[in-house]
Amino acid sequence: MSNNQTHPKSWLFIYLITLTIFFILLQISFFIQANHLYLGVFKIVTYHLKIPASVYPGIAYFLLMQLVIHLTYLLFIAGLTISISQTLKKSSSQTEKIGVTLWLLGIIIILLANQYFYPNSKFAVLTAIFFPKILAKIILIILSTLFMAMIAFAIYGIFKNKYFLITTTIFITLISIMTLKHPATPSAATATKPNIIIIGVDAVRPDYLGFFGSENHTPYFDDFFNHATVFSESLTPLARTYPAWISILTGQYPKKNGIRLDLAEQIHFDLQQTLPAILQHAGYQTIYATDETRFSNIDQRFGFDKTITPPIGFNDFLLGSLNDFPLSNLIINTPLGRYLFPYNYANRAAYITYHPQTFLNFMQSELINAHSKPIFLAVHFCLSHYPYIWSDSASDTRPQENYRQALQQVDQQLHGLLQYLKQDKLLEHSVIVILSDHGEALEQAGDRITDAELYVGNPKKPIPRFYPQSEYKEHVNQSGGHGTDILGLTQYHTLLAFQLNGTQNQSIRIISGNTSLLDIKPTLLNLLNLPDQNSDGRSLSNLITGKQRLITSQTDFFTETDFTPEAIRSVYPETRKVVFEGIEYIQINPLTTRLSIRPHMADLILSSKQYADFYGSWVMALYPQNKHWMMPVLVNLESGEWTTDLNTAFAKQAPTQHMLQALKNFYGNDISSLPL
């Protein structure tokens, strides 16, 4: 009897191996079919880019981990089968049937769990055809309960072995001791040397938050602003994440620090004069954390002791987008997923599996020892960035609705971070800044400040167009995205609020008047009584502490767009066309695998930029029409009136010549012929 059970049992593994290989091939086949457009674009990208050998180890590791988790599943089912079979004293043929049944049951559970937890997965879309949401949930609960009962029965059989029971008890005890939460240690911050915490949230336009009058439910943003000094008319000098953050850290315009587009590689400024470097020298521990790095190369070079980010490089683009397989999806947001799938763990760019709490957990695990010195912590949440969806979000066909839901979710992330910092006693003496690096245009009327009814010019001539002619009916007051349209004011309008805790007295109020992200560095250094050098911004500390009531000075504030090829100059840009036009400008560093703009393409990129000067209640914008001419657009922010004809009475009553000359003086040869 014993020989009959053990000898043929090897067929169990053959059956399970065959089923697992078939399952892997089936996943690959479906993945290729579901992602053929993406794979086609990627093929074009790899054709134009020279892929360095340093990329391949990461790809090999990813493929190996996929095999490992499928092999682990196979071994788990085999062990479960053998334990149940031995407990029930089944024959070899019955054991094989039990094994195949358990394998199939487990796969169904995995597929349904993937559909439940990751509804935006391509595999979830497939299974949803056969199992609608409610039915899938019911079946998942029933099958999971059945499967857990089988596991419990198998453990019962194993635990009859007293030696196994003793070993398991010791192992569990050790794990429990290792994972005990240590009590928070006192922060090293004081009233004169407080913790400095900057919380940036990507692409937030203020008018979508409850505090600024929206019906959108954002209680934690609103609560913070109700206890802060809020600057309601803050602008960014360039509405893209990387240039905006470099301007925050340097206090300088992109024109001055040299970071004038995403993925810019050249660094022309003094790294010892960045905000984190100055605070580092002043005795602070400096930390930067973000959940997306694809178009931002911020690292320790900027003065940070530690960075908490997904891996930076080409494999972030590749593996972060390609990893959508049911079994690995269920592992990614676990502590194990951090090591098995680093390009997906806590990575907002891998939106199919990105869970907001995972990034908070990632930060908390890395901030445990941040108490020996006062800290400078800069955090950047990217959940509110396009495509505005995440692991378990309900995708809507309307981008505005997805954006609204994303803001509600990032509001919860803000709450989670502030709660953690409070529990860890890091807020008792602190200066907290909440900002958005830029806003967002959502293709709505009014997203560009140029209404057709308010145009001042010859009524017999057509209103000027801002975008190339396309198949879509785009209106002159529409705009889309960010960093693409200099008069899309919802792209350039940002959050900016300061909260002082246990330091100086603060004036809790809303302050109007032009301010900018450039003001953050000089403000913080002024509050700390530290000297500032080379900042283009101005300190707002007297306004925050109540020593000054109003912004009285009228100064020029300059803005520019990022790289804007023709494909992106549309309210409805096509991704493939944008990629095709932009790929020629990108290179891969063979040592770091990071993407950057080719240096010799800089002149072409600059020629596509739009520029503007904000001066009091006026804006002068310049739109390139060809190599030799830029169309001026003058707008009055109070009345909404605008014109492209600088000979009108409307233009002559404005500081037109001052703004044109200021733009020419600031941007120099970047600006072509103007009617000066």
**Confidence band for 2, pLDDT divided at 50, 70 and 90:** very low
Q: Is 30 exposed, middle or buried (0-12, 13-18, 19+ CB in 10 A)?
A: middle
State the pairing for strand pair 480-481/229-231.
unpaired
Does residue 626 surpass a pLDDT of 50? yes
Predicted confidence at residue 8, as pLDDT, reads: 45
Does residue 592 surpass a pLDDT of 50? yes
Pairwise CA distance, residues 156 & 167, whole Å: 15
Q: Between 37 and 54, where is the model more confident?
A: 54
Does residue 276 surpass a pLDDT of 70? yes
Asked if 528 and 572 count as a contact pair (C-beta separation under 8 A), the reply is no
Structure tokens that stand for 449 in this block: 């400040």
Pairwise CA distance, residues 114 & 136, whole Å: 11
Does residue 575 surpass a pLDDT of 60? no
Concatenated DSSP letters of 121-190: SHHHHHHHHHS-HHHHHHHHHHHHHHHHHHHHHHHHHHHTSHHHHHHHHHHHHHHHHHTPPPPPPPP---
Question: Which residues are within 8 A (CB) of 563 and not within 5 positions of it... i.e. 6 or more apart?
Answer: 261, 262, 582, 585, 597, 605, 608, 609
| 460-473 mean pLDDT | 69
| 180-193 mean pLDDT | 74
Pinpoint the alpha helices (H) of 424-485: none
Q: What number does CATH give the domain 195-309+346-396+403-443+492-553?
A: 3.40.720.10
Q: Which helix (H) or strand (E) holds 606?
A: helix 602-607
Question: Which residues are within 8 A (CB) of 183 and not within 5 positions of it... i.e. 6 or more apart?
Answer: none
Task: State the CB neighbour count (10 A cutoff) for residue 548.
Answer: 14
Highest mean pLDDT among 169-173, 464-468, 514-518: 514-518
User: Strands, DSSP E only, in 398-514?
Assistant: 430-435, 441-442, 480-481, 493-494, 496-501, 509-511
Task: State the CB neighbour count (10 A cutoff) for residue 594.
Answer: 17
The predicted-structure confidence for 360-415, as pLDDT tens digits, reads as follows 999 999 988 767 899 999 999 999 998 899 999 987 778 899 999 999 999 999 99
Task: State the CB neighbour count (10 A cutoff) for residue 309.
Answer: 20
Question: Which residues are within 8 A (CB) of 551 and not within 5 positions of it... i.e. 6 or more apart?
Answer: 511, 512, 513, 514, 515, 543
Does residue 262 surpass a pLDDT of 90? no
Pairwise CA distance, residues 25 & 611, whole Å: 52
Single-letter amino acid, residue 589? N
In the chain, residues under CATH classification 3.40.720.10 are 195-309+346-396+403-443+492-553
| Residue reference for tokens 């320790």 | 300
Pairwise CA distance, residues 259 & 274, whole Å: 13
Predicted confidence at residue 324, as pLDDT, reads: 92
Predicted confidence at residue 675, as pLDDT, reads: 66
Does residue 81 surpass a pLDDT of 80? yes
The predicted-structure confidence for 151-176, as pLDDT tens digits, reads as follows 888 887 766 655 555 555 665 666 56
Q: Pick from 319, 258, 310: which is nearest to 289 by CA?
A: 310
**Confidence band for 4, pLDDT divided at 50, 70 and 90:** very low
* Mean confidence (pLDDT) of the chain: 88
The predicted-structure confidence for 11-35, as pLDDT tens digits, reads as follows 899 999 999 999 999 999 998 887 7
